[in-house]
Amino acid sequence: MSPGYTSEEMMVVTAARQLSSDDTCFVGIGTPSAACNLARLTHSPGITLIYESGTIGTRPDVLPLSIGDGELCETALTTVSVPEMFQYWLQAGRISIGFLGAAQIDRFANINTTVIGGYHRPEVRLPGGGGAPEIASFCEEIFVIMPHSPRAMVPEVDFVTSFGFGSGGSDRADLGLVTQGPTLVITDLCLMRPDPETKELTVASLHPGVDREQVRESTGWGVAFGADLGETPPPEQGELEVLRDLMERTAKAHAPGHGREGEGS
Amino acid sequence: MSPGYTSEEMMVVTAARQLSSDDTCFVGIGTPSAACNLARLTHSPGITLIYESGTIGTRPDVLPLSIGDGELCETALTTVSVPEMFQYWLQAGRISIGFLGAAQIDRFANINTTVIGGYHRPEVRLPGGGGAPEIASFCEEIFVIMPHSPRAMVPEVDFVTSFGFGSGGSDRADLGLVTQGPTLVITDLCLMRPDPETKELTVASLHPGVDREQVRESTGWGVAFGADLGETPPPEQGELEVLRDLMERTAKAHAPGHGREGEGS
Amino acid sequence: MPAMTSLREAIATHVHDGDTVCMEGFTHLIPFAAGHEVIRQGRRDLTLIRMTPDLIYDQLIGAGCVARLVFSWGGNPGVGSLHRLRDAVENGWPRALEIEEHSHAAMANAYWAGAAGLPVALFRGYLGSDLPAVNESIRFLDDPFTGERLAAVPAIRPDVTVIHAQRADREGNVLIEGIVGVQKEAALAARRAVVVTVEEIVDDLRAPSHNSVILPSWSVDAIAEAPGGAAPSYAHGYYTRDNAFYTEWDAISRDRERFRQWLEDEVLGAPP
Amino acid sequence: MPAMTSLREAIATHVHDGDTVCMEGFTHLIPFAAGHEVIRQGRRDLTLIRMTPDLIYDQLIGAGCVARLVFSWGGNPGVGSLHRLRDAVENGWPRALEIEEHSHAAMANAYWAGAAGLPVALFRGYLGSDLPAVNESIRFLDDPFTGERLAAVPAIRPDVTVIHAQRADREGNVLIEGIVGVQKEAALAARRAVVVTVEEIVDDLRAPSHNSVILPSWSVDAIAEAPGGAAPSYAHGYYTRDNAFYTEWDAISRDRERFRQWLEDEVLGAPP
């Protein structure tokens, strides 16, 4: 029986619920952008959204297709240069939540977006780190959003693009990092959180209709389940409506031939 | 017999004549500001004037009283932050001429604007370096403007605020500086230039009506005169008219009770 | 969201005895009203940081609030000396004043580093100057790539930064326009609190450009409306600099008694 | 004062075989017209620097102009891979491509250092990442004050920077508005020449603010009017991003033959 929402919607709604009006989020394109704007349009109208293109406090009416859409700038409180964004805003530790995607993540939440295989003769050359290495270091918390598969959830990543917890334990603090790192991984099957001691990613809740076996099969290491494992609350109708409206506006705005005019200069 | 102009006018006109439309000048308040704007209003309409408050390409109608008058910003091409001014514009070597004043200058053109006497128990505490130490290092050339007196022109300054030629010779290049340093000192008596080899300040020309003895008496070291010592050309009537108009406009604008309105915002 | 409050309340809440405080403004937008409130509240043992101390720090020093001054140019712009600063340095009146002296380039870079969350600012500077010999917070290090010797100073990280701006909106976002100085950097460098006085609090910030200099509400702790709060300096778009007062200050500040009387009449006895 | 010239002339004069070139634009104002002119003029052995190579560098790489790429994120934004970049890295087609790979923070800081005339950029970064192991231009040094380990990368100093901007006035001053990216830094970091294409050359620059992002005429070497010169990216205030082309590029670029045909039809055979 169909649950009445997609697994993408489940991820977006779940991510949105983690946010509050006090958060300043460093937002990536795609699911993170949908989640952050859903939070803004529902329970967290005061949330500050920041895109690495330099737009601060942006309130787009439709989701951007690129990290630097004009819509982001037009609806922002202000737009700063890219050096300023990385220097004054990210590096200085002013961002509470950073969202990252991953081609691979390992059991200690290290993230690979660089290469599959060896660096010099890769099997697959991925886009690379972009803002992620320093986002992972300087946002107070990192939320990772990615589909669950054994190829993506691996014992050890081929290349550490962005540091999570290294080999676990106190590795992160030992590097001099004072931020919390990846505190939450949201997949299409479950939520995972690092174990407080070992920092190994551990299943915190299963999405409705998902069982342990499915998660085990989709994870590349012998994944552990939290003692108080629960079910992730499903999306509510109100959340789905706001999200679907947003996605519909977005699709319409970005349809070929539909020129959204830049403002007059 | 009065020459028909003041010694201040002589200094300003002489300084203005050294400038061209190709110059980008880092301008200080007072005589340098008068000289740069006189150049702009006469032979060098294309000259770029930069004040350390961040105003680039400014064209004030009246001379500013402070380095950050609103007039400078209103007539500028653009105004940048003070860190940007020192980083992108001064440090990067984009300024051709920097003007400096001095409480003391020595025979090797080192400048003191910090203290007379010892640093920790000074006889006189002067305002300090401000922008000067790095202006002296990173402008292509430095012009120093100051009145000539034995207390000001000393064998060795009490404190090197801004480096000229150190102990002379190749000291400047040895420090890694690639700029020319103080190439011209304009006083109320004469022009001085560094000797090409020793870098000792040497009299290059005497202002009209000034003789060698006067300069010797007013200089704290046994000052040398250039082999081809000439007379500094006096101000021309046209220059004096433009300068006096400028000074008159300035005095009127800054008279107490004359509020120049800031532009509407 | 910052507290929208009175100037008295903002200073009482955020500026404490012994604090390190930046009140910035490069000729433009100098936070005089806030500085006077600090004097009225009798704060003591402050470390004050400012590129160009100007009259406001001369007044704070003369009023006995200041134990230590970090600065790069201590004059009355276009007029001459800061006599209260000189009296403190030369004669220890009304109390001894420790100074840490830099160049503008060093302080501008140190503010920049503070805003950027870096512990240190690296720049080309201080070559051949005697300042490094009298200021132990100036060091040098070699670029690991070229071997070039570069100057290094610690980032400026005050406890509190106090600035004046043209306006804030009712959410607490702050607009700064014109000669913007180092105010944004000074605000972002503060460890504990950012206090902003503004000419007006408005419904619409009226930022002229997408790239205007704006401090988001969540980077500010307290906002107080203080019309004329930058006078005798100026607020671009609101009022011009009172050059006559800058000249007059030379005479007022030369004489301890006259200064004390001025302080009594114009600051201590005046409402905030 | 820069030369006000044709795009063809500007590129022929300033971009030479073997040069290190930055064509910047963070999603916005990407200098496509100028990049296509570089392809038409058959430049070879270029080192290209750009935070986000985007379609324009995919096209230059596929056209065989590029020997080396310095970058921090090499994808088709919102779509997927840059297939010409991948084909060069994975298969050496049409020629081997050497890469130097950074993070955005590193490149943004390296541009900043280039603009500031510093040889090196110091920042907090690369902690725990494997990138320093595969890029020898990433080093670490200790802050002389706190001992904190900081990342260091050499300043970016290209021979030539090419950017697209909204407009220039007849004196050659250039206005950039909206998402300004690293264009100002890239321009100021150039060692030899700065080439700017603009939507229009106008009598009045119409800068919205005293603090607008402007390159003074004397910091620019050549200006060419190129209306639509940022398409299929966008120019804020002029036209929007052609998202459909970004999607279409995925199919065009996946196939070498189809790419070659596209290049023939749309670039080599098209007038500048």
Q: Does A260 score more than 60 pLDDT?
A: no
**SS3 annotation, D158-206:** CCEEEEEEEEEECCCCEEECCCCCCHHHHHHHCCCEEEEEEEEEECCCC
In a domain? residue D125: no
How is residue D149 annotated by DSSP? Answer: E
Q: Per-residue confidence at A264, pLDDT binned at 50, 70, 90?
A: very low
* D11 sits in which H/E element: helix D7-14
Contacts of B46 in chain D (CB under 8 A): 1
Q: Does B91 touch chain D (CB under 8 A)?
A: yes
In a domain? residue C121: no
Q: What Cα–Cα distance (Å) separates residue B164 from each residue in B18, B109, B134, C14, C172?
A: 19, 5, 11, 44, 48
Q: Per-residue confidence at B256, pLDDT binned at 50, 70, 90?
A: low
CATH number at residue C85: 3.40.1080.10
In a domain? residue C213: yes
Q: Does A263 score more than 50 pLDDT?
A: no
Domain B7-253, CATH number (from 3.40.1080.10, 3.40.50.620, 3.40.50.150, 3.80.10.10): 3.40.1080.10
Q: Which residues of chain C have pLDDT under 70?
A: 272
Contacts of C211 in chain D (CB under 8 A): 177-178, 180, 209, 211-213
Q: How far is Cα D58 from Cα D81, in angstroms, rounded to an integer?
A: 10
Q: Which chain B residue has its CA at the smallest distance from C233's CA? A: B69
In a domain? residue D219: yes
Q: How far is Cα A244 from Cα A9, in angstroms, rounded to an integer?
A: 9
Q: Per-residue confidence at B257, pLDDT binned at 50, 70, 90?
A: low
Catalytic pick among A8, A9, A52, A236 = A52
Over residues A4-47, the pLDDT tens digits come to 999 999 999 999 999 999 999 999 888 999 999 999 999 999 99
Print pLDDT tens along chain D (272 aa): 899 999 999 999 999 999 999 999 999 999 999 999 999 999 999 999 999 999 999 999 999 999 999 999 999 988 899 999 999 998 999 999 999 999 999 999 999 999 999 999 999 999 999 999 999 999 999 999 999 999 999 999 999 999 999 999 999 999 999 999 999 999 999 999 999 999 999 999 999 999 999 999 999 999 999 999 999 999 999 999 999 999 999 999 999 999 999 999 999 988 76
Rounded percentage of chain B residues whose pLDDT exceeds 70: 96
Q: What are the residues whose beta carbons fall under 8 Å from the beta carbon of B248, sequence distance 6 or more? A: none
Q: Does B49 touch chain D (CB under 8 A)?
A: no
Q: Does D206 touch chain C (CB under 8 A)?
A: no
Does A241 participate in catalysis according to the annotation?
no
Over residues D47-104, the pLDDT tens digits come to 999 999 999 999 999 999 999 999 999 999 888 999 999 999 989 999 999 999 999 9
Over residues B79-115, the pLDDT tens digits come to 999 999 999 999 999 999 999 999 999 999 999 999 9
Q: Determine the pLDDT at residue C272.
A: 65
User: Contact C139/D154, CB-based, under 8 Å?
Assistant: no
Across chain A, what does the average pLDDT equal? 93
Two tokens at D154?
């050499």
pTM flag (> 0.95): yes
Closest CA to D163 of D191, D135, D192, D193: D193
**SS3 annotation, chain B:** CCCCCCHHHHHHHHHHHCCCCCCEEEECCCHHHHHHHHHHHCCCCCCEEEECCCEECCCCCCCCCCCCCHHHHHCCCEECCHHHHHHHHHHCCCCCEEEECCCEEECCCCEECCEEECCCCEEEECCCCCCHHHHHHHCCEEEEECCCCCCCEECCCCCCCECCCCCCCCHHHHCCCCCCCEEEEECCCEEEEECCCCCCEEEEEECCCCCHHHHHHHCCCCCEEEEEEEECCCCCHHHHHHHHHHHHHHHHHHCCCCCCCCCCC
Across chain B, what does the average pLDDT equal? 93
In a domain? residue D263: yes
- Total domains in the fold of chain D: 1
Rounded percentage of chain D residues whose pLDDT exceeds 70: 100
How is residue A42 annotated by DSSP? Answer: T
Two tokens at C83?
């006599």
Two tokens at D98?
């050497």
Rounded percentage of chain A residues whose pLDDT exceeds 90: 86
In a domain? residue C28: yes
Q: Determine the pLDDT at residue A1.
A: 53
Long-range contacts of A12-16 (CB under 8 A, 24+ apart): A12/A38, A12/A243, A13/A38, A13/A235, A13/A236, A13/A239, A13/A240, A13/A243, A14/A186, A14/A191, A14/A207, A14/A232, A15/A99, A15/A143, A15/A145, A15/A186, A16/A42, A16/A43, A16/A239
Q: How far is Cα B239 from Cα B13, in angstroms, rounded to an integer?
A: 7
Q: Does B185 score more than 70 pLDDT?
A: yes
Q: Does B77 touch chain D (CB under 8 A)?
A: yes
The sign of the dihedral angle between the CA atoms of A158, A163, A164, A167 is positive
In a domain? residue D31: yes
Domain hosting C243: range is: 3-102+156-268
In a domain? residue C136: no
Q: What Cα–Cα distance (Å) separates residue B211 from each residue in B191, B193, B218, B232, D201?
A: 13, 17, 11, 12, 56
Neighbours of A169 (CB within 10 A): 14
* Shortest Cα distance, chain C CAs vs residue B108, angstroms: 13
Q: Determine the pLDDT at residue A68.
A: 87
Q: Determine the pLDDT at residue A261.
A: 38
